[in-house]
Structures are given as structure tokens and as C-alpha cells.
Amino acid sequence: MIERRPGLTALSHGVMILGVLAIAFPLYLAFVASTHLPGEIMQVPMPLTPGSHFWDSYGAALAGRGHVGGGGSVSRMIWVSLVITLIITFGKISISLLSAFAVVYFRFPLRSLCFWAIFITLMLPVEVRIGPTYEVVARLGMVNSFAGLSIPLIASATATFLFRQFFLTIPDELVEAARVDGAGPMRFFFDILLPMSVTSIAALFVIQFIYGWNQYLWPLIIATSEEMYPVVVGIKAMIGSEVAVDWNVVMATAVLAMLPPAAVVLLMQKWFVKGLVDTEK
């Protein structure tokens, strides 16, 4: 549509730039802070351009040096985060695919009940049941372990729901053709259903990765030793109660903590946006 309103276009760009600045500022600041010495940051106001001590901060963070409230080496923390996140992501996606497949393509007694049982978990995020879930995990001896940190978080049903919605849109005729071709249910699942679900799986991968990586409350409770801290818990421990903290190390940690999820989001931006909007609707 042809509409010549240069003023409005300028305003639009102006607003967007403002928005981008406001959004990017904390991130930019974090990066800048991570490249200075602690002393430089503490002087008010701190410099707004990157310094030259990049390796000092990041090196200290990764090795666990530096004057911080707690947490240990960031490289260990990132490793922990990665393991937990991948367990959660792959775990959730696999069991949800199987469950959605069962619920949509089979008729079995109590099917509705099973579906609603899974569905109810959508209604209660982990924050609401932390106490007793902790007790269960303790009873199973999974405290402070990778399993304890990840498996209880696989319980929720977002993925199952999404896959179910998607499976319902697959034309019946495709299943019939596969039956005529001699494909049994599992063959159909692997040869036809899965390849067709790639976009949904990709979108869910991003969403679950972010979910898993950013988990805070649960690991806070379950991880009782520093070496089992994911990086998001570690970073909070760093600023703990001590006032004189090496902020450059903290900021370096923040940047490191943001990199994997940001990378995942940016690389899979297209699928992710589509999947997010389609999921919730």
C-alpha cells in the first residue's frame, strides 16, 4: 500500500531504536563491565566503553578465581547447566512424542483419564509444589545429582499438548496409505510422523532448552554442593551477601550464562518464533 508519511516512518524507527537501546543496554553494560578491572567498575560512573581486560575477567570466571560470594568455577557450572538442560530437553521431547502418539492414534481404556492426568500438570508449575517434590526426590536418593536436577522437571505437559495438536492435523489418508503399504504403528511413527514433525520438534527444542537452562528455584533447592550448581544458581551465589565482589567476574559469568541460550534462539529463530506462537494458540 502506498502511503507517504515520512514523519510516521521516522517516528517508528525512533521508537524502535529507543526500544532496542533500552533492551540492549543491560546486556551491553554487562559485556563492558566484564572487560574492565574491578577497580574501574567501582568508580562512579563506570566507563561505558569496553576495556582491555577481557581475558582477566573471563579467565578468572572460568577457573573459579576472583573475589566472589560463592559458586566455584564457571566452566564447571556451564557444564552442569548443559547436562541438565540437554537431559530435560531431550527427555521432554521424547516422552512427549510417545505419549502424544499413543493418545492420538490408539484407542485404549482410560485414554481420556491418562490424557487429563498429563494435562493437569500444565496447571501446576514446579514453584507451587517444591516442598513435597523435594521430599520425594530426597526419598529416592536423587538429591544433588544430575538426575534429581533434571528428571522432576520433565513432568510437565506442554510438549505433549503441542504434539497432540499437531498430530491431529495430519490427514487420515496418510495413515491409511501407510497401513496399505504395510507399515505398523511404530514404523509409521519413525518413518512418517517424526519427519513430518521436525518443525514442531525444533521449536520445542528452543523453548525447552531455554526453560531448562534458566531453571533457578529447583536447582537452588536440590543442589547442595557448589559443584552441582548450574550457572544461573552460581551467579546469584556470587553476588551473595558480600558487598565487595569482583563485579567484572560476575558480569563475565553473566555473559557466559547468556551465550548458549542466545545462540540457540538466534540460530533457530525462524522455527522458534513460529513454534512459540503456534504452540500457545
Partner 1 sequence: MEKRVLFRSRWLPWALIAPQLLIVAVFFFWPALQALMQSLQQQDAFGGSVSWVGLDNFRALFNDETYLNSFKITIEFSVLVTVLGLAIAMALAIFADRIVKGAAFYKTVLILPYAVAPVVTGVLFSFMFSNSFGVVTFWLHRMGIEWNHLINANDAMALVVMAAVWKQISYNFLFFLAGLQSIPKSLIEAAAIDGAGPLRRFWNIQLPLLSPTTFFLLVINMVYAFFDTFAIIDAVTQGGPGKDTATLVYRVYFDGFRGMDFGSAAAQSVVLMAIVIALTVIQFRWVEKKVHY
Partner 2 sequence: MAALSLRNIIKRYGHGPKANQVIHGVSAEVLDHEFVVIVGPSGCGKSTLLRMVAGLEEVSAGEIRIGDRLVNDLEPAERDIAMVFQNYALYPHMSVFDNMAYGLKIAGVSKAEIKVRVDKAAAILELGHLLARKPRELSGGQRQRVAMGRAIVRQPRVFLFDEPLSNLDAKLRAQTRLEIQKLHRELGITSLFVTHDQVEAMTLAERIIVMNGGVMDQFATPEEVYSRPATTFVASFMGSPPMNLLKQAPGVRPGMILGIRPEHLQLDNGGWSVQVEQVEMLGAERLVYGRIGEEALIMRLDESQAPPVVGDTVMIAARPDKLHWFDAGSGKRNV
What is the rounded distance in angstroms from the CA atom of residue 50 to the CA atom of residue 70?
A: 26
**Residues 76 and 64 sit within 8 Å (Cβ to Cβ):** yes
Cβ contact 149:230 at 8 Å: yes
**Segment interacting with partner 1 (CB under 8 A) among 8-16, 60-68, 71-79, 191-199:** 8-16
User: Contact, 84 vs 276, CB < 8 A?
Assistant: no
Candidates 51-59, 61-69, 191-199, 251-259; binding stretch for partner 1 (CB under 8 A): 251-259
Q: What is the secondary structure of 143-204 as a DSSP string?
A: TTSHHHHHGGGG---HHHHHHHHHHHTS-HHHHHHHHHTT--HHHHIIIIIHHHTHHHHHHH
Q: How far is the CB of 171 from partner 2 (least distance, A)?
A: 7
Considering the rule CB under 8 A, would residue 198 count as an interface residue with partner 1? no
Given partner 2, partner 1, none, residue 268, with its beta carbon under 5 to 8 Å by kind, binds: none
Q: What is the DSSP letter of 18?
A: H
Residues in 167-206 at the binding interface with partner 2, rule: CB under 8 A: 171, 173-174, 176-183, 187, 191-192, 195-196
Please choose which of partner 2, partner 1, none residue 67 contacts, taking the beta carbon within 5 to 8 angstroms, the exact cut-off set by kind. Answer: none
Convert residues 201-240 into a mask of x (bound to partner 1 by CB under 8 A) and - (unbound): ---------x--xx-xx--xx----------xx-xx--x-
Cα–Cα distance measured from residue 250 to residue 238, given in angstroms and rounded to the nearest whole number:
7
- Of positions 63, 65, 67, 111, contacts partner 1 by CB under 8 A: 111
Cα 257 to the chain's mean position, in Å?
A: 11
Output the nine-digit C-alpha cell for 74: 564457571
Binding partner of residue 237 among partner 1, partner 2, none, CB cut-off 5 to 8 Å per kind: none
Q: Is the Cβ of residue 101 or residue 161 nearer to partner 2 in the bound state?
A: 101
Q: Which is nearer to partner 2, 8 or 198 (CB)?
A: 198
Is 250 a binding residue for partner 1 by CB under 8 A? The answer is yes
Q: Which of residues 113-172 bind partner 1 (CB under 8 A)?
A: 114-115, 117-118, 121-125, 127-133, 135-137, 140, 151-152, 154-155, 157, 160, 168, 172
Q: Restricting to residues 91-110, name those near partner 1 by CB under 8 A.
A: 94-96, 98-99, 101-108
Query: By rule CB under 8 A, what count of residues binds partner 1?
Result: 107
Q: Are 153 and 191 in contact (CB under 8 A)?
A: no
For cell 530426597, name the residue: 138
Nearest residue (CB) to partner 2, 82 versus 178: 178
Residue 195 binding partner per list partner 2, partner 1, none, with a CB distance cut-off of 5 to 8 Å that depends on partner kind = partner 2
Nearest to 160 by CA among 104, 209, 84: 104
249 contacts: CB under 8 Å, gap ≥ 6 = 38, 57, 60, 61, 65, 66, 67, 68, 238
Residues at the site binding partner 2, with contacts judged by CB under 8 A = 171, 173-174, 176-183, 187, 191-192, 195-196
